[in-house]
Each structure stands twice: as C-alpha cells, then as structure tokens.
Amino acid sequence: MEDERGPLLVKSNDNESGIYMSNDGAELRSFRSYLRWVYVDQSNACKSSISWSIFIFLAFVVPIGSHFLLDCSDTCDSDHTRPYHVPVQISLSVFATLSFLTLTGWDRRYGFRKFLFLDKVGDESLKIQRAYAVQMKRTNILILRWGLPCFIAEFAYKIWWYASGGTRIPYYGNVYISSIILCTLELCSWIYRTSIFFLVCVLFRLICYLQLFRLDDFAQVFQRESEVGFILIEHLRIRRNLRIISHRFRAFILASLILVTASQLIFLLMATRPNADLDILRGGELALVAITLVSGLYILLRSATKITHKAQASTSLAAKWHICATVNSFDNIEGETPRVPTPSAQDIAAHISWGSSDDDVGDEEDELDNTKMMPIYTQTISFHKRQALVTYMENNKAGITVFGFMLDRTWLHSIFAIQLALCLWLLNKTVGV
C-alpha cells in the first residue's frame, strides 16, 4: 500500500512561489477531467462499459460507416473520391487502439496517482514540486499545441469536402442535416483518436520531466560536502525510477516505432506508385496523418533521449568531482613543491564550465556539464570511495531502455539509418534510379 501523503505540493509563503498543487488541486482536477474526456472513466463496471462503448464507436464504427455510407466513387469527381481514405482510417484506428489499451492497462494496474508518481512527489524538494506542477499545467496546452493545428486542417478539409460535394455525396434524409451529422461524427472520431495517442506521448514526456528535475537536483550534491553513500543512494533511486518508466512504456514505444515506420512506408508506396494521382485535395489527409503520427513518435524519442543524455552526464560530473578532489588532496601535501605551476582544485572548480555563455554551443548544451563546483572536502571522502563511486556510475549507466536497448543518441542514429535505408529501397523499387 503506497504511502498517501498530505498535500502533494505544499504552498510556500514566498510571493514568487504561488505554484502549488494539492491532492484535489486545480491542476490535478483539470488533468483528471481531460483523462475522463478522452477515455471516460474506468473506476467501476458501468463507467468502464461506457468508456469501451465510446472507444468502439469513435474508433471503429464511425470510420467503417463513413467509408461505406459516403462512398461516391461513381457519382463524385476525382477530388471527392477519397482514394486514401482506407489507409488513413486504419492507421488512426490502430494507434487509437494501442493507446486506449495502454491507458486502460496502466489505470487498472497502477492507478492515476501512482502512475504519474504523484504519491512520491511529496518526498522531493519544494523546487522539484513546483516545477512538476508547472509541467502538469502545461500538459493540456502541449496536447493542444500538437493536435490543434492538425485538427484545424482536418476541419477545413471536411468542411470543403461536404460543402463542395453537395448532392453528389450520398446523404440520408435532408442533405444539410445529413452532412452536418456525418461531418460532426467524422471530426469527433478524428480528434478522439489523435488526442488519445498524443495523451500517451505527453504522459511519457511529463514523467520524464520529473526525472529531469531530480537529476538537476542530484547534481547539486557535488557542490557541497556529501558522503559517497548518500550520493550512491540518490543515484540508485534515480536508476530505479528510470527502470520503472522504461518497463511501463517499453511496449508502447516499440509498437509505436514499428507501426509508424510501417505506416510511413505504406503511405510512401501508395504515393509513388506509377498510377498514383496525388494532389493536395486527394492526398491531404494522407500527409496530415503522417505528420500526426511522426509528431507523436518525435515526442516519445526526444523525451527518452533527453533524459538518457542527462542521466549519463551525471557520470561525467562525478568524474570531474573526483579529479578536483584528487588535485586538491595533492595541493594539501606539505613540503612538496611542484616543479611547474599547476592549477589548484579551486581553479579547476572555478573554470569547470568551459566557454562563455556567448559561445555557439546550440540548444543541446547540458546543464549538468556546467554545474559550478565548490572546493572539495577531501578530508571526509577518501580517494578509494570516490574512485569506487565513479567506477560504479561508469558501469551502471542510467537511462530509458526498451527491452535492454538504451535510448540514447547512438540509438537514434541507428533508427534514422534504418529508416533512410528502407525509404531509399522503396523509392528504388517504385520510382527507380
């Protein structure tokens, strides 16, 4: 039974620290309402049946019905025949099914608070609590930021398709009422399926950000006199959390990568076949779905590689801390005069952040790499303890893994090489060289 603490994020008396979150605070209620809106509520059998009914209706019944009820290949012109409607709907339904099953499995197994580590955030520092509250506030905004442009484009396309098609599009009863109802159902189905996919991707990003905040806080232990045992315990705790996240998301990440790759190759094959008649009106939905799926995969891979890079950077930080302490210990040896001037530990600590803020280092500069180190207290930490800690961290790298494979930049380069090879092979088979 998890320890349920009192307030999740306690309010501070500081005027600048107005960001806080209680057990039933506004941030948590807003997030729960969004979850309830996406896949309803599965807290009991009745609500669970409603959830599954809405999912089956919007993910399968509406797409299948729209394909057969709105088939106008004999009456419509070439711009309204929707030749790519089937792969578009299959792709969205497959990803919606994957996301829905993943969400319901997490909800049933872990529960909302435990899954998002809300039951553990109270053990963290106030700085981490505030930062996590800010990220929870931004979650809904992030989903809208990624999904709203795609929805606006889909909305404009559907309005054009129904308005310009007129009576050539099959209708039932009154042409206007039929078009409004069918258009609304299609748009609801589209936004439901894309939202539920983006939700899982953003949840992964949110949980990764909590670990990023912990890693930033972990870097501060090298700025003060800390026991090696305390540093080791903190690193073990971070590694354990990253293993938990990897275990929960590994199936979804791998399935998303495989399905996105397969869908993009199928889309490319359809667009480059010899008799393909492709323009913005006929293939617009195909491009829109491709952008949506790749965007979700981008959120997953970027979050995973970012936290893996940050976690592995702590090993480099420990090595710098070790060398500063070692140099300082030799500086304290009395009676020994170095033959050539050598920098002291204080000089190394002062210049541990190479370069100035004006250097062209890009957006990928690591904050841990620029941690300011204070003079090292070598009297309390022996060389062997420091060396053992650095050796341990070098041989026990933390990060997000997928069935044993570390999601770092090298892994991303391999994915890009495989994707490029498949794309070039497919182009060679269809277009030719």
In sequence order, which residues have a C-beta less than 8 Å from that of residue 326 and are 6 or more positions away? 378, 383, 386
Q: What is the pLDDT along the chain (433 residues), one digit of tens a residue?
A: 333 333 333 333 333 333 444 444 555 666 666 666 666 667 778 878 888 898 999 999 999 998 888 887 777 777 778 878 888 999 999 999 999 999 888 888 887 778 888 777 877 778 888 888 888 878 777 878 888 888 888 899 888 888 887 778 888 888 889 889 999 999 999 999 998 899 899 999 999 988 888 888 888 877 765 678 888 888 888 889 999 999 999 999 999 999 999 988 888 888 877 777 777 777 778 888 888 998 999 999 999 999 988 888 888 888 888 787 777 655 554 445 444 444 444 444 444 443 333 443 344 445 555 555 444 444 455 778 888 888 888 888 888 989 888 888 888 888 888 888 888 877 776 665 4
- The pLDDT value recorded for residue 326 is 76
The set of long-range contacts for 102-109, using a CB threshold of 8 Å and a minimum separation of 24, is: 102/200, 102/251, 102/252, 103/35, 103/38, 103/39, 103/196, 103/199, 103/200, 104/39, 104/42, 104/51, 106/248, 107/42, 108/42
pLDDT score, position 251: 93
**Domains of the chain, residue spans:** 27-225+246-302
Residue 371 burial (CB count, 10 A) = 19
Residue 44 is given by DSSP the state S
Give residues with Cβ within 8 angstroms of 361, minimum separation 6. 355
Give pTM, 2 decimals.
Answer: 0.80
Q: Shortest CA distance to 161 belongs to which of 326, 260, 284?
A: 284
In angstroms, the CA 202 to CA 250 distance is 15
Q: In terms of DSSP H, where are the helices of 166-279?
A: 175-218, 228-272
Q: How far apart are CA 364 and CA 369, in angstroms?
A: 11
Q: How far apart are CA 432 and CA 233, in angstroms?
A: 58
- What local confidence, expressed as pLDDT, does residue 70 receive? 85
According to the model, what pLDDT value does residue 150 have?
85
